[in-house]
Structure 1
Amino acid sequence: MLTRLSIRNIVLIEALDLDFGSGLGVLTGETGAGKSILLDALGLVLGDRADSGLVRVGADKASATASFEFAKLPASIAETLDDADIELEPGEPLIIRRQLKADGGSKAFVNDQSVGVALLREIAGALVELHGQHDDRGLVNPRGHRALLDRYAGTDVDGLATKWREWRAAEERLEAARGQVEQAKLDQDLLIAHLAELTSLEPQAGEEARLAETRATMQKGEKLSGDLEELRHILEGSDSPLASLRVAARKLDRIGGEHPLLAEALAALDRAVIEAGEAEDKLAAAAEALVHDPQALDEAETRLFELRALARKHRCEVDELPEKMREMRSFLNAIEGGEAELDALEDAARKASEAYATKAEAVHKARLAAAKKLDKAVAAELAPLKLDAARFLTAMGKLPEEKWGAGGIDSAEFLIATNPGADFAPLNKIASGGELSRFILALKVALAEQGGAATVIFDEIDRGVGGAVASAIGERLARLADGGQLLAVTHSPQVAARGGTHYLIAKSSSGTVTKTSVALLNEAGRQEEIARMLSGTEVTPEARAQADRLLEGA
């Protein structure tokens, strides 16, 4: 609820700090004293358009700050703050500040964190519900009427929303499967041709690297074949260097014992023979590895080029061709087995649709019953509020299928007819300002609304009425305020007497400077103000006595 409102340099208010509590608080004062300034300041906090005309003459900027406290932060506010990365600890007040410059610029802050004005508008509905002479939000807005009726009826809207989501999910799966099958059918002939082409080659993962290596090796063999053949001739035969070394080693072996140096020479010669033999073996192995088979080279090159051409055709790497084959087979299998899958998905979607329709119809019946009950409850409230000739109707209708949703298949709108025989029409199209406020009061009393805004404000709901009607209004306002917070700007002493707290708004002038002030009245002050409201300019003893009777009866 609203716990504090601080105003600086707005119109006639230089500086003002107001504390508010729970229950019914009333604001009174002479006409023109500045009650609307308080609402304008609160409107700034709630995201209303910045008007430089609100800045007090002579000041360069104005500001309004409102503090709200909650036993539990409403979910809608918590989600909005979370999206804006604003942390609010349990029990911590929500403080909204709006600054307005004389040149028209404005800034907004939530708990000292800069925010856009759009965020203020987003959370405003859960903070304050304002009903005044030109109310176009809250209960007047037909977009919220179905939700209000659901809260009144206690309908299972969460269960209905679940059925809707399940139906939509089933329909989306079905449409996705249909699209896949239809696309596969369109591509079927081309897929078959591509798959046949790939199947004829049967590409294998890693094959490109192996073929490229084989081709490169064969090409090296082709290039080195002449040199290898020449080396073979050099190393082979009876007159080859290796053969000569062996002959020399045998001869030296016979005389090696004659001198130590001969033995060393023999050992060196043996090593040379061994090394030369190893070289001969390596050359033979290399010649075998680099053997050049023109036909094999041609086959390797042909397959390698075919694989690369297919990869370019399908815009992928050669190693991805096996996966392309599997995808094509999957598409073709979808065509063959698609009808059976579609049948199963269609059955699931049909069952989900029926489940939603069944739930929606049950909710529809609950809404119809609640609408009749609500109409009777509102009708019972109209006569005491001097609206006995008026009629109230909760108009129910069924939406076309394309507008069905998580909220069901119904439309709901609150309508009124102010005169006998007149047609029903939306609240704000027929009722005058005072009538509209009283209709809203009757509706709120009938709804016994839970889960609405933390603070409810009625601006001059008693305009144009008095006596018993004003007493009825005061009694209903007090009833609505029980356990919550309701503020009423009023000119009626009967309403003012019902207030748990009473604020007097007064205007004073000093030379050319006019200021508005607000004071919290004690019991004596309340009696005097209510007496003034009863008697006018001059407060009489009779008016004070009547004020006492009103206060005692409240």
Structure 2
Amino acid sequence: MLSTLRIRQIGVIDDALLEFGPGFTALTGETGAGKTMIVTGLSMLLGERLDRGRTRGSSTVDGTLSLTGHDELAAALDELGAEEEDGEVLVVRRVTRDGRSRAQIGGVPVPIGTLARLVGTAVTVHGQSDQQRLRDPDAQREALDRFAAAEIGPLLERHRALWRERSALAARHAELETLLAERDRRGTVLREALERLEQVDPQPGEDRALRQEIDRLGSAEELRGAASQAALALVGDDDGPSAGPLLDIAGEALGRAARTDATLAPLVERMEAARLELSDLAGELSRYAEDIDASPGRVDEANERLHELTLLVRDLGGLLPGPEGPAEDITTLLENSRAAAVDLDRFDGAEQEREVAATRLAALGAELDEAAEALTAARTAAARELSEAVQEELRHLEMPDAALRVDVTEHGPRSHGRDAVAILLAPHPGAEHLPVARAASGGELSRVMLALEVALSSSRSDRSAAPVFVFDEIDAGIGGRAALAVGQRLARLARHAQVIVVTHLPQVAAHASTHLQIVKSSSEGATRSTVETLERTGRIEELARMLAGDAASDRALAHAEELLDEARDAPGGGER
């Protein structure tokens, strides 16, 4: 429910705080006091635009919305990261005179469309937009589905689940068709390429290693000579000087000195290590010189293998492309070939999967037909019940001669079935049934909307997530017994929902459990308004003003008190 509403700088309202009760709240006040500004503020929380003429500097509306029972709304706000306190969330809308608009939910800035979508799940404003809502076939179908949610809900969910499955499967079937067409085009080429790759059996990096080997073999004599010369310089022979014998001499001299001075012992160890490292290095150089193969046969063999690999990259690089294009070496070609092998596996399984998908699609078509027929039957039965329920409400609302009918007709298949729903009204005997938005006058339209909401709310089984209904001009064009009837039906609706009504009729206001008065005052040529919560005495005076235009008239006060007491004792109650 809506706990509080604060409006600042909108029209004649400087700063007003409204505290709503859980049932039926009536908003009254003199003409020009700013009742319309209250509805304007509520509408702003639903994303509506603010007329620039009503904007004063920066116009702001804050609303505190209880999340109790609104699980989907609470989950959406949690995903946004919105803050809540004691199960309530603060909704803020600010509009500047230059037309800039900002919105926040729970401290999180949101687009106006998101504000409208989220708050709109909990609050409905009835007023000038009613005709558009009643022209929307989807809104009328959804209303019928809500009315018989227990019967229609499971059938609707099954149909939607089947629809989602068929849509996903149809998309997958189309993918498989494309894949099989690609198989016919590329499958043979890929297999031949992979078979050739398997025959050549290249290894990762093999072409690079071969180029390095060929370069080494081309300089074999030079490399052998350099290695041999280096080995001789290290260990030498009897014909020339070398580092090895000199290290031996140095080691022996240092060893003799160490026997006299023990501090030289670590240097002796390092000298010995250097001598051994020199010997090992000379041995490795000698072996390198002996192992170099300078035979023409090995050079030819390496060149031939490199040529084979080069042709493989050239021929298959374009057939087995990777994310970055054709391969330019063996390593990349092998990586691309693995992706091609995966494609072939997909090709091989695609035909069988397509057959399975086609079989399931045919079965889904039959299941959807069955689910749609069950939905149509349930909606047709519910349409009769809703017609009777709204018809009964219209009788209570002083429209006994009006005949309302809910028609269910065939429509093209959609996720919610094959039904189109239309609410039709014949306002008097002999009149043709026409769409209610066309057939009803302004006052009748308001009462039809009220009758529909009462019927829908009375059918709700979940009382925890009671919606919030705001009615503006619900009593337009009516009075007398019709006004009393509207007040009684609003009180009945308030059993299952929070109802906020802007009214100028005392017969309606008397049925409210919370009465807010918009009070205007004039100062220095400017009119400003505030909001007061009325207790019993204040309510009687306000009802007297609404009845006779004079809150001090004894006769009007007596009539007002009588009206308030009768409303309290009526079914549904009024003042508590």
* Aligned mate of 2:354, from 342, 355, 369: 342
Q: What residue number does 1:266 align with?
A: none
CA spacing shift, 1:286–1:111, aligned 2, 3 Å: same
2:127 aligned with 1:132, yes or no? yes
Amino acid at match of 2:294: V
Q: For residues 518-547 of structure 1, give each alpha carbon's deviation from its aligned partner in whole angstroms, at most 9, with x where no partner exists.
A: 322221222222233333447644433332
Distance (whole Å) between structure 2 residues aligned to residue 337 and residue 28 of structure 1: 72
Q: What residue number does 2:310 align with?
A: 305
CA spacing shift, 1:138–1:77, aligned 2, 3 Å: farther
Q: Secondary structure at the match of 2:529?
A: strand
Q: Secondary structure at the match of 1:409?
A: strand
* Count of residues in Structure 1 that have an aligned counterpart in Structure 2: 511
Distance apart, 1:440 and its partner CA: 0.7
Amino acid at match of 1:515: R
Distance apart, 1:336 and its partner CA: 6.2
CA spacing shift, 1:279–1:468, aligned 2, 3 Å: closer
Q: What residue number does 1:99 align with?
A: 94
Matches within 5 A, 1:391-430: 391-401=403-413, 404-405=414-415, 407-430=416-439
* Aligned mate of 1:445, from 454, 470, 481: 454
- Of structures 1 and 2, the larger Rg is shown by 1
Contact 1:214 1:300 in 2 (8 A): no
Distance (whole Å) between structure 1 residues aligned to residue 340 and residue 542 of structure 2: 88
Distance (whole Å) between structure 2 residues aligned to residue 82 and residue 429 of structure 1: 42
Contact 2:541 2:551 in 1 (8 A): no
2:558 aligned with 1:553, yes or no? no
Q: What residue number does 1:46 align with?
A: 46
Q: What residue number does 1:517 align with?
A: 530
CA spacing shift, 1:230–1:16, aligned 2, 3 Å: closer
Q: What residue number does 1:385 align with?
A: 397
Distance apart, 1:553 and its partner CA: 1.9
CA spacing shift, 1:294–1:124, aligned 2, 3 Å: closer
Q: What residue number does 1:492 align with?
A: 505
Distance (whole Å) between structure 2 residues aligned to residue 284 and residue 112 of structure 1: 78
* Aligned mate of 1:372, from 372, 380, 384: 384
Distance (whole Å) between structure 2 residues aligned to residue 106 and residue 219 of structure 1: 79
2:520 aligned with 1:507, yes or no? yes
Distance (whole Å) between structure 2 residues aligned to residue 295 and residue 411 of structure 1: 83
CA spacing shift, 1:197–1:435, aligned 2, 3 Å: same
Q: What residue number does 2:249 align with?
A: none
Amino acid at match of 1:95: L
Contact 1:417 1:423 in 2 (8 A): yes
Distance apart, 1:184 and its partner CA: 1.1
Amino acid at match of 2:292: A
Distance apart, 1:294 and its partner CA: 4.0
Distance apart, 1:29 and its partner CA: 2.5
Contact 2:94 2:102 in 1 (8 A): yes
Distance (whole Å) between structure 2 residues aligned to residue 75 and residue 508 of structure 1: 43
Q: What residue number does 1:88 align with?
A: 84
* Aligned mate of 2:66, from 65, 69, 90: 69
Distance (whole Å) between structure 1 residues aligned to residue 533 and residue 448 of structure 2: 30
2:13 aligned with 1:13, yes or no? yes
Q: What residue number does 1:182 align with?
A: 181
Q: What residue number does 1:25 align with?
A: 25
Q: What residue number does 1:119 align with?
A: 114
2:104 aligned with 1:109, yes or no? yes
Distance apart, 1:381 and its partner CA: 1.7
Distance apart, 1:431 and its partner CA: 2.4
Amino acid at match of 1:411: A
Contact 1:130 1:138 in 2 (8 A): no
Contact 2:544 2:550 in 1 (8 A): no
Q: Secondary structure at the match of 2:417?
A: coil
Matches within 5 A, 1:123-272: 123-136=118-131, 141-153=136-148, 154=150, 155-156=153-154, 157-188=156-187, 190-191=189-190, 194-195=193-194, 197-221=196-220
CA spacing shift, 1:422–1:218, aligned 2, 3 Å: farther
Q: What residue number does 2:490 align with?
A: 477
Distance (whole Å) between structure 2 residues aligned to residue 165 and residue 472 of structure 1: 46
Contact 2:228 2:286 in 1 (8 A): no
Distance (whole Å) between structure 2 residues aligned to residue 331 and residue 116 of structure 1: 44
Contact 2:224 2:292 in 1 (8 A): no
Distance apart, 1:192 and its partner CA: 5.2
2:529 aligned with 1:532, yes or no? no
With structure 1 as the length reference, what TM-score do the two structures score?
0.80
Contact 1:378 1:443 in 2 (8 A): yes
Q: For residues 93-129 of structure 1, give each alpha carbon's deviation from its aligned partner in whole angstroms, at most 9, with x where no partner exists.
A: 3222333334443433334444433332222312421
Q: Which runs of 5 or more residues in structure 2 are unaligned? A: 241-277, 568-576
Q: Which runs of 5 or more residues in structure 1 are unaligned? A: 235-240, 246-274
Q: What residue number does 1:237 align with?
A: none
CA spacing shift, 1:175–1:39, aligned 2, 3 Å: same
Distance apart, 1:165 and its partner CA: 2.3
Distance apart, 1:178 and its partner CA: 1.8
Distance apart, 1:180 and its partner CA: 0.9
CA spacing shift, 1:367–1:243, aligned 2, 3 Å: same
Distance (whole Å) between structure 2 residues aligned to residue 88 and residue 102 of structure 1: 30
**Structure 1 stretch displaced more, 133-142 or 373-382:** 133-142
Distance apart, 1:21 and its partner CA: 1.2
Amino acid at match of 1:378: V
**Structure 1 stretch displaced more, 108-117 or 165-174:** 108-117
Contact 2:398 2:481 in 1 (8 A): no
RMSD in angstroms over aligned alpha carbons? 3.6
Q: What residue number does 1:289 align with?
A: 292
Contact 1:416 1:427 in 2 (8 A): yes
2:458 aligned with 1:457, yes or no? no
Distance (whole Å) between structure 2 residues aligned to residue 126 and residue 281 of structure 1: 84
With structure 2 as the length reference, what TM-score do the two structures score?
0.77
Distance apart, 1:466 and its partner CA: 2.3
Amino acid at match of 1:351: A
Distance apart, 1:287 and its partner CA: 4.2
* Aligned mate of 1:359, from 371, 374, 380: 371
Distance apart, 1:62 and its partner CA: 3.2
Q: What residue number does 1:256 align with?
A: none
Q: For residues 471-516 of structure 1, give each alpha carbon's deviation from its aligned partner in whole angstroms, at most 9, with x where no partner exists.
A: 2211110011115311112222221211111122333334512222
CA spacing shift, 1:212–1:362, aligned 2, 3 Å: farther
Distance apart, 1:182 and its partner CA: 1.0
Contact 1:133 1:437 in 2 (8 A): no
Distance apart, 1:335 and its partner CA: 5.7
CA spacing shift, 1:475–1:229, aligned 2, 3 Å: closer
Distance apart, 1:134 and its partner CA: 4.4
Q: Secondary structure at the match of 1:86?
A: coil
CA spacing shift, 1:76–1:142, aligned 2, 3 Å: farther
Distance apart, 1:210 and its partner CA: 4.5
Distance apart, 1:152 and its partner CA: 1.8
Distance (whole Å) between structure 2 residues aligned to residue 502 and residue 284 of structure 1: 108
Distance (whole Å) between structure 1 residues aligned to residue 196 and residue 184 of structure 2: 19
Distance apart, 1:166 and its partner CA: 2.3
Contact 1:211 1:304 in 2 (8 A): no
**Structure 1 stretch displaced more, 535-544 or 67-76:** 535-544
